Chain A
Amino acid sequence: MTTDATKSNGGPADLVVRIDALVKSYPGRGEVLKGVSLEVPRSKIVSIIGSSGGGKTTLLRCVNLLERPDRAEMEIGGEPVFSGERLVCRDLARLRQTVGMVFQRFNLFPHLTAVENVMLAQIKSARVPESEAIERAVTLLRRVGLGHRATAYPDQMSGGEQQRVAIARALALRPTVLLFDEPTSSLDPESTGEVLKVMRELAEDGMTMLLVTHELPFAQEVSDWVVFIDKGLIVEQGPPLDVLQNPREERTKAYVMGYASHFEGGLEEAQRVMGI
């Protein structure tokens, strides 16, 4: 299995996502992001971690411009999409075809079957001929282990199945990068396992991914780079072992320890689960 992400465009730095000094505020909430810079190189996996309300999801949603930054320099796939206070992306629809997104609550189209969910954007956004779209949809559903559920409706599927359909739907447009917004937060442990398995396979295929997650063991396992965000700023970033096992900053330590304390055996148990 190969994805388009494995093909390098040979750009100088080959950064799929480059964000510089992004500021985003909401009326009444003030600045949610206070100047955040982030880079996602091709075929790499970057995880954003941090407590709720820290701005992780907002940052992710800025990447495909579901949220407009107040100010930022942003390049996606080497092309400037946002500069200063202005949107410079001329074709938002095309940008979104290159940036796939998987939501926390799946957001499948409930009136369409799994296979139609995966076909819709191919036909309506990418203008892929119908027969090709069906074939690709079936292939993708098989790839996420759901060939047998192709004609089921979302409400007939478990959360884990729905999220895997959502991943297939995001892959259907052959994106250069996939964004995951807490993809397992509304799932039970078994479903979480199913979804993480699919994401692990994507990682092995060289898919470029940017994910917001609370699954620290998973982040440690698959990520090339981990970014810890708190109160709208990047507090610490680096290779997963550095950030998650030997955090330098107090706030990172507190967050990682807080996570570890969810396990009965404390940090040691957490580390065992993480496979350290």
Chain B
Amino acid sequence: MPALAALFNVEWGDYTSDLLDALIKTIEFTIVGFIGAALLGLVLALMRLSKVRAVRTPAAVYTELFKNIPLLAIIFLTYFGLPSQGVRLTVFQAGALSLIIFYGAYLSEIFRAAIAGVHAGQQEAAEALGLSRGATFAQVIFPQAMRSALPGTNTMLVDLLKSTSLLVTISAAELMSQGQLIASETFRALEVYVVIAALYFALCYPLSQGLLWFERQIRAGVPLAPRRRRRLRLARQLLEKGVAA
């Protein structure tokens, strides 16, 4: 295998700790970006479902605006653009903010469709049982919406992880930036980027498979919350014991 041997001759041992740091940085961007985007997306979705026009409109404008601007442009705006207005963000702040701004818009669309898709009869049944507005949302609407939003949301999470590579443009110390550094030191672009690509794959593939497994569990009705498991276990025990009817 002379071709393969020729391909791999960077001293990877020298870069292990750098790559590990870069991997962690990528994961940090993914976690912070996704949590922020999910929260923003939920707020935007709820705003868009409001009866009040003055609440609905800004959310709709936001979503349309940032869905139609490339992520790279948003990254440049937050990191290179904002300082001219006196807002100076660190690389991490600018990177995470860009991901939140961009993916928040997409997630809001998924969440809005999922919440609106919960049957009106569910809201009524909850109301008729005297549930408060908060409890109705938390116990009835949100869990059902979450189930139908799950596939789209999971796709977005994996997409967001891959998009952290765009942060190479602001040298965010994530995987892609680290790859660029190693490539410029070793002049082994093909080898380095094959390894970087493999690392992204090693992150994304288990993640998306894990999320698919999670979706299947939810669809099969497996109770994941410990509280639900406990309740169902107690119910089974009662049924076995045969409490007096």
Q: Which of A1, A64, A93, A151 has a CB less than 8 Å from the CB of B132?
A: A93
Interface positions, chain B 210-231, Cβ under 8 Å from A, are 221, 223, 228, 231
Interface membership of A261, Cβ < 8 A? no
List CB contacts (< 8 Å) of A128-146 with chain B.
130-131, 134-135, 137-139, 142-143
Given the complex of chains A and B, what is the CA–CA distance between A119 and B143 in angstroms? 16
Asked whether any CB of chain B lies closer than 8 Å to the CB of A197, the reply is: no
Dominant secondary structure at the B interface: helix
B48-56, B77-85, B107-115, B123-131: which lies at the A interface?
B123-131
B19 to chain A, nearest CB (A): 42
Q: How far is the CB of A141 from chain B (nearest CB, A)?
A: 9
Task: Please tell me if the beta carbons of B147 and A111 are within 8 angstroms of each other in the complex.
Answer: yes
Q: Say whether B144 faces chain A, with CB atoms less than 8 Å apart.
A: yes
B202 interfacial by beta-carbon distance below 8 Å: no
Q: B119's closest neighbor in chain A, by CB?
A: A107
Contact of B131 among A110, A116, A125, A150 (CB under 8 A): A125
Q: Of A28-36, A94-102, A199-207, A219-227, which binds chain B?
A: A94-102
> Is B245 touching A142 in the complex (CB atoms < 8 A)?
yes
Given contacts A105-B121, A138-B243, contact A64 B238 (CB under 8 A): no
A97 touches B232 (CB 8 A): no
In the bound assembly, the distance between CA atoms of A142 and B234 in angstroms comes to: 15
Distance between Cα atoms of A137 and B139 in the complex (Å): 17
A-B contact count (CB 8 A): 99
Interface size bracket, A side: 35 or more
* Interface of chain B residues 137 through 179 with chain A (CB within 8 A): 139-140, 143-144, 147
A93 surroundings in chain B (CB, below 8 A):
130-132
Q: Is A115 an interface residue (CB 8 A)?
A: yes
Q: Is the CB of A134 within 8 A of B234?
A: yes
A110 touches B231 (CB 8 A): no
CB of A130 within 8 A of CB of B129, answer no
Bound together, the chains give a CA A105 to CA B239 distance in angstroms of 28
> Can you name the residue of chain B whose Cβ is closest to the Cβ of A179?
B128
Instruction: Please report whether the interface of chain A is mostly helix, strand, loop or mixed according to DSSP.
Output: helix
A13: Cβ under 8 A from any B Cβ: no
Q: Which residues of A contact B131 (CB under 8 A)?
A: 93, 120-121, 124-125
- The answer to whether B235 touches A134 (Cβ under 8 A) is yes
A68 to B24, CA, bound (A): 56
- For B245, the closest partner residue in chain A by CB is A142
Q: Is B122 an interface residue (CB 8 A)?
A: yes
Cα–Cα distance between A9 and B234 once the two chains are bound (Å)? 35
Q: For A139, what are the chain B residues with a Cβ–Cβ distance below 8 Å?
A: 243-245
Contacts of B128 in A (CB 8 A): 64, 66, 96, 99-101, 103
A135 to B53, CA, bound (A): 46
Contact between chains at B125 and A125 (CB < 8 Å) = no
Of listed B130, B135, B234, B244, residue having the most chain A CB within 10 A: B130
- Interface membership of A218, Cβ < 8 A: no
Question: Which of these, A103, A105, A134, contacts B238 with CB under 8 Å?
Answer: A134
Q: Does A109 contact B (CB under 8 A)?
A: yes
Do the beta carbons of B140 and A125 come within 8 Å of each other? Answer: no
A151 touches B236 (CB 8 A): yes
Which residues of A in the span 47-81 have a Cβ within 8 Å of any Cβ on B?
64, 66
> Chain B residue with minimal CB distance to A137?
B235
The answer to whether B239 touches A107, judged by C-beta atoms less than 8 angstroms apart, is no
In the complex, A130→B125 CA distance in Å? 21
**When A107-B122, A107-B124, A151-B236 are in contact, do A143 and B245 touch as well, CB less than 8 Å?**
yes
Query: A111 and B144: CB pair below 8 A?
Result: yes
**A119 CB contacts on chain B under 8 angstroms:** 231
Q: Looking across the interface, which residue of chain B has its beta carbon closest to that of A140? A: B245
Q: Is the CB of A116 within 8 A of B127?
A: no
Set of chain A residues within 8 Å of B121, measured between Cβ atoms:
103, 105, 107
Cα–Cα, bound, A16→B196 (Å): 73
CB contacts (< 8 Å) of B129 on chain A: these are: 96-97, 120-121, 125, 169-170, 173
What are the nearest 6 A-B pairs in CB distance?
A121-B129, A96-B130, A107-B125, A125-B130, A107-B121, A93-B130
Residues on B facing A (Cβ under 8 Å)? 119, 121-122, 124-132, 135, 139-140, 143-144, 147, 221, 223, 228, 231-232, 234-236, 238-239, 243-245
20 new A-B pairs (CB below 8 Å) besides A116-B231, A173-B129?
A: A93-B132, A94-B130, A96-B129, A96-B130, A97-B129, A99-B128, A100-B128, A107-B121, A107-B124, A108-B125, A109-B125, A111-B144, A113-B223, A120-B129, A124-B132, A134-B238, A135-B238, A150-B235, A151-B235, A151-B236
